[in-house]
Amino acid sequence: MKNTITIGYSALISALLLAFGPRASATVLSYDAFSAYTAANLSGQAYKGTGYASGGSWSGGTCTVSSSGGLAYTSGQTLPVAGGKVSYSNSGDCTANLDITAGGTFGLAGLTSSSKIGGAAGTLYYSFLYQKNATISNQWGGLELYNGGTEILGIPTRSANPNTFSWFGRSNGDLKNNLGTGSTFTQDGNVHLFVVKIVFNGSGSDQVTIWMDPNLNNAENSQNSSTTYYATTSGDFRFDNFHIRGSYAYYCDEPRFATTFSEAVGGLLPLTATWNNASGGSWATAANWTPTTVLNLATTTGDFSSLNLSGNTTVTLDGSYNSGPLALGKPSMASPGPVPTLTPTTTASLTALSL
């Protein structure tokens, strides 16, 4: 008897093309670990991170940078960090101009036009670590994107609701769990990771997604949980610099701009997602994978080799998904049954056969 894993044709063909064909380039465009600065006021010091305007320096108010003791974050995996952190204490803006030239990292990623990041259509992610260091009352602050001198997007504290994690700028609102349908989060003294996705259309009608405290074992499309906070908004989010600013004391660390969610969180996310349901089921059900995720990432291997099949098994595709290489086999050569292979069937599906 032939035991099979049947997987829908079109999505699996896409996965195989990603496995054996050219890969899209995932790139970190700008990153600062605050590891090479003098432990003093950051303003006036030449940029030590990457992706900044050539030959430039931090400017503005007083932000004390340390040479060690940076912020740390763990959820599923530990975010790779280095160096120190910035301590902000309500003393003016600390401003960094990004490299918006055609030959800079943002330009080479196709994201710049008219001297603005987002002037051309494309997708950008950025992230940073944050920890409040004071009681908050009717205050505001965080890492903010600017277009020249115009405030575009600030996270995580807006004055209208200062005790909850939120965003402000072109629009404003509170972050909520369960994909934005649940509860807000009252600010505490813990370290939090923020990840932002901006889909630019080149004309200013851009789409923004914000995550707070994502699980680093899960891909972008699998961040719906009671512990990950979320929001979406839209508008003109073109920018060319960012500020560390506010009206209270907090720490900021690890600002990172990238072209993928994975690179925005330090190149993490699982290298392998293993199918764990011998009875089959939906590809889109996170519990069917180990670690808990939904495989939809060209850099992640889909492993179907950990189970001994006792009968034909169907994995149902509920949409289009991406994957890296697909691993087919069995737990060991001593396991019962032969090694599965992939073969297309006449019913427009691809089937892993125990031959």
pLDDT by residue (tens digit) across 134-148?
888 778 999 999 999
Q: Which of 75, 70, 120 is nearest to 253 (CA)?
A: 70
CA distance 14 to 323: 8
Residue that terminates a domain, selected from 210, 231, 264: 264
User: What is the reported pTM?
Assistant: 0.75
pLDDT higher than threshold 70 for residue 347: no
CA distance 215 to 223: 7
Average pLDDT over residues 315-325: 73
CA distance 21 to 2: 30
B/e letters for 50-63, b = 16+ CB within 10 Å, e = fewer, are: ebbbeeeebbbbeb
Judgement on whether residues 235 and 340 belong to the same structural domain of the protein: no
Judgement on whether residues 205 and 60 belong to the same structural domain of the protein: yes
Judgement on whether residues 240 and 293 belong to the same structural domain of the protein: no
CA distance 155 to 75: 20
Backbone angles phi, psi at 291, to 5 degrees: -65, 170
Domain count, the chain: 2
Judgement on whether residues 55 and 102 belong to the same structural domain of the protein: yes
Judgement on whether residues 236 and 311 belong to the same structural domain of the protein: no
Of residues 320 and 337, more confidently modeled = 320
CA distance 225 to 75: 12
Average pLDDT over residues 79-88: 94
Which of 17-31, 200-214, 263-277 holds the top average pLDDT? 200-214
Judgement on whether residues 18 and 136 belong to the same structural domain of the protein: no
Judgement on whether residues 257 and 275 belong to the same structural domain of the protein: no
Judgement on whether residues 171 and 52 belong to the same structural domain of the protein: yes
- At position 165, the amino acid (one-letter code) is F
Instruction: Assign 311 to helix, strand or coil.
Output: coil
**Cis amide linkage into residue 291, ω under 30° from 0:** yes
CA distance 200 to 120: 7
End-to-end CA distance of the chain: 8
pLDDT higher than threshold 50 for residue 11: no
Average pLDDT over residues 235-254: 96
308 falls in which pLDDT band (50, 70, 90)? confident
176-180: long-range contacts at Cβ-Cβ below 8 A with a sequence spacing of 24 or more?
176/229, 176/230, 176/231, 177/225, 177/226, 177/227, 177/228, 177/229, 177/230, 178/224, 178/225, 178/226, 178/230, 179/224, 179/230, 180/230, 180/231, 180/232
Judgement on whether residues 213 and 289 belong to the same structural domain of the protein: no
Average pLDDT of the chain is 83
Residue that terminates a domain, selected from 208, 233, 264: 264
Residue that terminates a domain, selected from 264, 279, 308: 264
CA distances from 145 to 27, 111, 183, 202, 206 (A): 20, 15, 26, 17, 14
Q: How many CB atoms lie within 10 A of CB 175?
A: 24
Residues 47, 67 contacting (CB under 8 angstroms): no
**What CATH number corresponds to the domain at position 35?**
2.60.120
pLDDT higher than threshold 50 for residue 345: no
Q: How many CB atoms lie within 10 A of CB 254?
A: 27
The domain of 320 spans 4-22+269-354
CA distance 263 to 299: 11
Residues 156, 130 contacting (CB under 8 angstroms): yes
pLDDT of residue 301: 77
pLDDT higher than threshold 50 for residue 16: no
CA distance 19 to 164: 43
Judgement on whether residues 106 and 217 belong to the same structural domain of the protein: yes
Judgement on whether residues 236 and 87 belong to the same structural domain of the protein: yes
Taking the alpha carbons of 23, 265, 124, 66 in that order, is the dihedral positive or negative?
negative
CA distance 72 to 33: 12
Judgement on whether residues 347 and 205 belong to the same structural domain of the protein: no
